[in-house]
């Protein structure tokens, strides 16, 4: 199965109107629908409308960084999946480690958001990954499995035909420490093998992205691994030059 590489930019809480305009203009100019990789960006909510107006009809997709699992109602400050769909989003991140660590989202909360995203018609990008302490304690696979099981038990394996997984070791996010291609591949293979035991076709088609200090200089080696189907990129997605270096690293 040839899975098309996806290069996804998680802008986190960065940006301004002028930055969004110049970044997206740069990405449109430097990439194409015929390219070897798909491209997606995840702006903060205030910039989704601007992203939609610039990217509509182009080959670049966009998504939200999180969602509230309720469809609507008295949830001041929150944004629903329906609203993201209304802004033209195809994707939404769920369970990013910053949401888990800073905003207290539990595995169950993440499963609820995954489910709500799909109910709204979005394709969730489920982020999983271990902390440095967990890796050093030899718990990487157990942690990733626990995070996956919470979602699988809630929505079932079939739901993964409309989802993406991003393996992001917490110790590699924003630190400049990238997992080696072998370390990343080993966890990606573990994830795919786990899903293979539940549904071979879905596991084979599922895109599993790696995230954690991906940059132009390490992307090619990471994407060359058999079970790494792209990257979820933070810091290096904030300028067109850095992000396109990753896009252009796709063999
Ligand atoms: P980073 O962030 O590329 O800056 O390490 C990745 C992420 O948090 O998705």
3-state helix, strand and coil shares in percent for the chain, rounded to the nearest 5 = 50, 15, 35
Q: Is there a contact between 80 and 67 (Cβ–Cβ < 8 Å)?
A: yes
Pocket test for ligand 1, best of 6, 10, 219 (most atoms within 8 A of CB): 10
Which ligand 1 atom sits closest to the C-alpha of 213?
Answer: 5
What pLDDT score does 62 carry? 98
CATH number at residue 148: 3.20.20.70
Q: Domain limits at 132?
A: 5-247
Distance CA 189, CA 196 (A): 10
How many residues appear in the chain? 251
Ligand 1 centroid to Cα of residue 112, in Å, is 23
Alpha carbon nearest to ligand 1 atom 7, residue: 234
Cβ-based neighbours of 6, under 8 Å, separated by 6 or more:
37, 38, 39, 40, 164, 207, 209, 229, 230, 231
Q: Is there a contact between 196 and 204 (Cβ–Cβ < 8 Å)?
A: yes
Please give the structure tokens belonging to residue 15: 């940006």
Ligand 1 centroid to Cα of residue 10, in Å, is 7
Helix axes 48-55, 17-30, angle to 10 degrees: 30
How does strand 164-167 pair with strand 207-211?
parallel
Which ligand 1 atom sits closest to the C-alpha of 166?
Answer: 9
Q: Known catalytic residues?
A: 96, 168
Cβ-based neighbours of 177, under 8 Å, separated by 6 or more:
171, 212, 213
How does strand 60-64 pair with strand 5-10?
unpaired
Is residue 41 within a helix (H) or strand (E), and if so which, with residue range?
A: strand 37-42
Three-class SS string for 133-148? HHHHCCCHHHHHHHHH
State the total domains in the chain. 1
Written as tens digits, the pLDDT of the chain (251 aa) is 689 999 999 999 999 999 999 999 999 999 999 999 999 999 999 999 999 999 999 999 999 999 999 999 999 999 999 999 999 999 999 999 999 999 999 999 999 999 999 999 999 999 999 999 999 999 999 999 999 999 999 999 999 999 999 999 999 999 988 899 999 999 999 999 999 999 999 999 999 999 999 999 999 999 999 999 999 999 999 999 999 999 999 98
Which ligand 1 atom sits closest to the C-alpha of 237?
Answer: 3
Which ligand 1 atom sits closest to the C-alpha of 10?
Answer: 9
Ligand 1 centroid to Cα of residue 70, in Å, is 27
- What residues does ligand 1 touch, defined as CB less than 6 Å away? 10, 168, 173-174, 211-214, 232-236
Ligand 1 centroid to Cα of residue 11, in Å, is 9
What pLDDT score does 1 carry? 66
């Amino acid at each position: 199965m040839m899975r098309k590489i996806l290069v996804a930019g998680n802008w986190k809480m960065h940006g301004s109107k002028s930055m969004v305009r110049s970044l997206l203009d740069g990405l449109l100019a430097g990439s194409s629908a015929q390219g070897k990789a798909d491209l997606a960006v995840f702006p903060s909510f205030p910039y989704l409308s601007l992203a939609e107006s610039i990217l509509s009809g182009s080959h670049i997709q966009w998504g939200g960084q999180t969602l509230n699992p309720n469809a609507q109602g008295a949830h001041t400050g929150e944004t629903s999946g329906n609203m993201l769909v209304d802004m033209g989003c195809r994707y939404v991140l769920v369970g990013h480690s910053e949401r888990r660590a800073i905003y207290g989202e539990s595995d169950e909360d993440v499963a609820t958001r995954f489910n709500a995203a799909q109910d709204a018609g979005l394709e969730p990008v489920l982020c999983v990954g271990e902390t440095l302490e967990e890796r050093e304690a030899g718990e990487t696979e157990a942690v990733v499995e626990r995070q996956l099981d919470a979602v699988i038990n809630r929505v079932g394996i079939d739901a993964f035909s409309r989802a993406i997984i991003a393996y992001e070791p917490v110790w590699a996010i924003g630190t400049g420490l990238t997992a080696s291609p072998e370390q990343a591949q080993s966890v990606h293979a573990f994830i795919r093998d786990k899903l293979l035991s539940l549904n071979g076709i879905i596991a084979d088609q599922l895109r599993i992205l790696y995230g954690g200090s991906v940059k132009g200089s390490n992307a090619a080696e990471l994407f060359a691994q058999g079970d790494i189907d792209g990257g979820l990129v933070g810091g290096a997605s904030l300028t067109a030059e850095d992000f396109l270096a990753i896009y252009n690293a796709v063999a």
